[in-house]
Structure 1
Amino acid sequence: MWKTDIIDGQLSRTRIVFIIFAIMAFFLYQYLLLAVFCLFLLFFHLSIFYLKSIHKSLTLINEMKSIRVFPGEQTSWKLSFRNGLIPIFKGSLTIAFDANIQPTGTEFTVHSDLAEVSIPFAVFPNEEKEVTIPIETVKRGLARIRKIELMIPSLFGSETAILEFNEIFKQEIIVYPLQREVNGDVENERMVTGFHPSPQSLFSDPLQTIGTREYRSGDGFQNIHWKATARTNELQTKIFEKTTEMSWIIVLNVIDRHSVVADLEEMIEQAAFLVNTAFIKEIPFSLLVNLRSFGDNPYFLLPLGEGPKQRQKAMEMLAVISVDSFPFPFSSMLFHENKKNHRVSTIIILGEIPSDANAVIQLFMKKGIRPTQVKGNTVKGVDRLWIS
């Protein structure tokens, strides 16, 4: 858990001097001085033993914990220590973490995109201690603690032990993006049966009965509502919920030639707004970003889904997009998605559409999927762009 380095200071030379004096005192029969020198040597060795043993006594509890917040909100890092028999006095705890969050109420420095803070640290034998560092979120991103280091002075002498935590600390803070409003109506229904209520739909869901009406000639025998018929003494027919297919593919093209686009943050905030809109209107959606991923898919992909869990996954995905990621060809990503059997009504593209993606967009259109593009702060249909 701990990598330990001992900084001797003047210890080695002082110890050699005391050993020489002790030998001289022995041969000169100065036993009182010999005892004093031996006592000092004992203190030195106890000091070294103390510094070398601390890492065996101190444990940092490392449990997985994710904190989800928005920019401008306040939260805290919490580090829990469990100590054994060896006390620590006048120690110093240094923590470095991603600078998209910053400490509050204490001084800190920023180096290489890492915020670093140092605070006093002391713990008694058999004590459990929790260290809390209040922080404020500054901007979107994933923040982790990258360094945990303890500097512990010896009980005697000038030597110091440096304990460096050599595991990945599992606590993380996910800062969701802000939302930038997008105007325009992107709701589009496919003329197929689905699960989204739509009074204008030509299709009904036989599993969702919303009422009854008087029986009419031509109504199916299987649609008669027998309980309502018995209650009214007249034949009653079930009325089913009219439904249609309504779902989105939200696509981000974050690459301009070979680098990340300059308006990346604005694009992510607009995508966050669309994600939240889909959640509020109970519209299933998937999310694609043309950055290379090292998982099962070669690019960032959130499969089609809906509900609070889907929104959380989407916001987390938008939060971790980094300018340091490798690009993935936009047209190749769309082509790969088109091969899947999508039952969606609309594809919403944020960013520029390269010319080599035109043919793939036509394939989506042949499936009845309406392509749209966010221009400025407005969603516009782009059907004409690809019609040959």
Structure 2
Amino acid sequence: MSGWKLQRQFTRRHSVLVFSLPFLTLTAIFTNEYVLFSFALFFVLLLTVNKWYLDYACSRITIPRGNEVKRIFPGELATLQLPIEYSGKVPIFSGKLSYFLYDTDGAVLLAAEERSSANLREEHRFSVPPLTKRVYDLQVKGVKRGTAQIRSLELVVHDIFQFSSIHLTYAGSYRSEVIVYPEIRSFHGLEKIIQQEQGAQPRSFSLYEDVMMTRGNRKYTTGDPFNRINWKASARAEQLQTKIYEKITVSMWTIVINVKSKLRTRQTIDFFEEALSQAAYTCQYAAKHDISFEIFVNIKMPGTMTGLHLPYGNGKHHLLRALELLARLRASNVTVPVENMLHAVFQQPVQQQCILHFGAYGEEEERKYSMERQDGKTIYYVQTTGDGVYLTMAGGRQHESAAT
């Protein structure tokens, strides 16, 4: 039976009946009591029908393949759904559906009751008519960054007379999950970052051109590619004309998040959530202004010692990937040394135009950033104090903006 693991369970009444049948049958044969023999035959038929009914009903219970993922911010509502299809032609009279809402972060509350959903087990009566599709809903409210999933789905189906039951444990691929994005905590200073551009903007001098933005034409010169010839303009001018495209620059930000704590008693910093919320705002700001960005986090990942990396991208889809990445981080994650992460940051073939540092900042970061600033890189770190949030030039301790 695809997607389910089953275990058959029997009641005491069933066991008594099964063990009584041989005695009842032998007594009927030796005494020539047709009534006793009829009872024995009836009980055999009853047990056979009950077994057939359970096998038939349970073999026709399915859950569609795929995943359902709901994405919300704190304070928003989402409905987790559990779809169950029953293709049998006889009804299921009695059963019980139960599942476990895995929410170790306390990311959501049950919307109807406003109570914690952590380690919550939900149960529903399972009684369905033939050829039925049913959806079980669980509405939750986002409280804080994190994820919650429906797990440990179990279904118990009883026979008609409740002599026995089949316990079904779901082992298929369907998953229902809600992702609560980090709270967006804004701060001033991103708009004042000293760089040549924000996004893909026309510029007078650039190595890049936007072939979708034609600025004009000029006389053809030897070496111009033929795909740049404007044939209509050439026909009017009676000589070859080459298209002139707008010069653009493509802005790129590297978001570096150091979450490693200096204390041996814990893995991550005590302002872990604040750093991720500030990084989330930066991702949102970059996407809004068409700025490509990447993310580095010094969280240990399989196969690498440099930490977690989201490559460059831009637009709404890339923003959603970034927010989901930040939502899935845990304060209990194992970290890697910040020097390993910074080594990966500055070993990339792409030259970063702007680096923004979040989280812990110390002598190692100051030393490394001072060296990189000498190569012309623009580097800032976001400093959180009791007075507010500062966007500060890294590698020089020079404030670039006021507290927010």
Could you tell me the TM-score, scaled by structure 1's length? 0.81
Within the alignment, does 1:276 sit opposite 2:279 as a pair?
A: no
Residue in structure 2 matched with residue 98 of structure 1 by the alignment: 102
Equivalent residue for 2:390, pick from 378, 381, 385: 378
Residues of 2 paired with 1:108 and 1:175: CA distance?
A: 17
Name the SS of the counterpart of 1:292 in structure 2.
Answer: coil
CA, structure 1 residues 297+142, in 2 after alignment: closer, same or farther (shift >3 Å)? farther
CA, structure 1 residues 32+53, in 2 after alignment: closer, same or farther (shift >3 Å)? same
Equivalent residue for 2:186, pick from 181, 187, 212: 181
Structure 1 position 180, deviation (Å): 0.8
Name the SS of the counterpart of 1:259 in structure 2.
Answer: coil
Name the SS of the counterpart of 1:130 in structure 2.
Answer: strand
Counterpart code for 2:195 = E
Within the alignment, does 1:253 sit opposite 2:258 as a pair?
A: yes
Residue in structure 2 matched with residue 219 of structure 1 by the alignment: none
Name the SS of the counterpart of 1:291 in structure 2.
Answer: coil
Structure 1 position 164, deviation (Å): 0.6
Residues of 2 paired with 1:205 and 1:91: CA distance?
A: 66
Counterpart code for 2:390 = T
User: C-alpha deviations, 1:71-118, integer Å up to 9, x for none?
Assistant: 2223331414242345322221112222334544489985xx433211
Residues of 1 paired with 2:114 and 2:373: CA distance?
A: 57
Residues of 2 paired with 1:81 and 1:344: CA distance?
A: 52
Residue in structure 2 matched with residue 361 of structure 1 by the alignment: 369
Residues of 1 paired with 2:35 and 2:315: CA distance?
A: 82
Does the 8 Å CA contact 1:96/1:117 hold for their aligned counterparts?
yes
Q: Which stretch shifts more, 56-65 or 2-11?
A: 56-65
Does the 8 Å CA contact 2:109/2:116 hold for their aligned counterparts?
no
Does the 8 Å CA contact 1:2/1:55 hold for their aligned counterparts?
no
Name the SS of the counterpart of 1:279 in structure 2.
Answer: helix
Gapped regions of structure 1 (runs ≥ 5) = 213-221, 232-237
Q: Which stretch shifts more, 288-297 or 33-42?
A: 288-297
| Map 1:9-20 → 2, pairs under 5 A | 9-10=11-12, 11-20=14-23
Gapped regions of structure 2 (runs ≥ 5) = 217-223, 225-229, 237-242, 399-404
Does the 8 Å CA contact 1:107/1:117 hold for their aligned counterparts?
no
Residue in structure 2 matched with residue 218 of structure 1 by the alignment: none
Structure 1 position 278, deviation (Å): 0.7
CA, structure 1 residues 380+298, in 2 after alignment: closer, same or farther (shift >3 Å)? closer
Q: Which stretch shifts more, 98-107 or 367-376?
A: 98-107
Does the 8 Å CA contact 1:204/1:240 hold for their aligned counterparts?
no
Does the 8 Å CA contact 1:190/1:345 hold for their aligned counterparts?
no
Residues of 2 paired with 1:78 and 1:89: CA distance?
A: 20
Residues of 1 paired with 2:53 and 2:116: CA distance?
A: 31
Within the alignment, does 1:263 sit opposite 2:271 as a pair?
A: yes
User: C-alpha deviations, 1:332-363, integer Å up to 9, x for none?
Assistant: 01111211123322211111124333443234
Residues of 2 paired with 1:226 and 1:39: CA distance?
A: 93
CA, structure 1 residues 108+351, in 2 after alignment: closer, same or farther (shift >3 Å)? closer
CA, structure 1 residues 44+306, in 2 after alignment: closer, same or farther (shift >3 Å)? same
CA, structure 1 residues 206+170, in 2 after alignment: closer, same or farther (shift >3 Å)? closer
Residue in structure 1 matched with residue 150 of structure 2 by the alignment: 145
CA, structure 1 residues 103+21, in 2 after alignment: closer, same or farther (shift >3 Å)? farther
Does the 8 Å CA contact 1:109/1:117 hold for their aligned counterparts?
no
Within the alignment, does 1:305 sit opposite 2:310 as a pair?
A: no
Does the 8 Å CA contact 1:205/1:242 hold for their aligned counterparts?
yes
Within the alignment, does 1:29 sit opposite 2:35 as a pair?
A: no
Pairs aligned (count)? 372
Residues of 2 paired with 1:312 and 1:107: CA distance?
A: 27
Q: Which stretch shifts more, 339-348 or 358-367?
A: 358-367
Name the SS of the counterpart of 1:89 in structure 2.
Answer: coil
CA, structure 1 residues 92+106, in 2 after alignment: closer, same or farther (shift >3 Å)? farther
Residues of 2 paired with 1:306 and 1:26: CA distance?
A: 84
User: C-alpha deviations, 1:35-81, integer Å up to 9, x for none?
Assistant: 12331232123323433443322221122333322222233314142
Name the SS of the counterpart of 1:357 in structure 2.
Answer: helix
Residue in structure 2 matched with residue 63 of structure 1 by the alignment: 66
Structure 1 position 24, deviation (Å): 1.8
Residues of 2 paired with 1:173 and 1:132: CA distance?
A: 15
Residue in structure 2 matched with residue 234 of structure 1 by the alignment: none
Residues of 2 paired with 1:119 and 1:40: CA distance?
A: 32
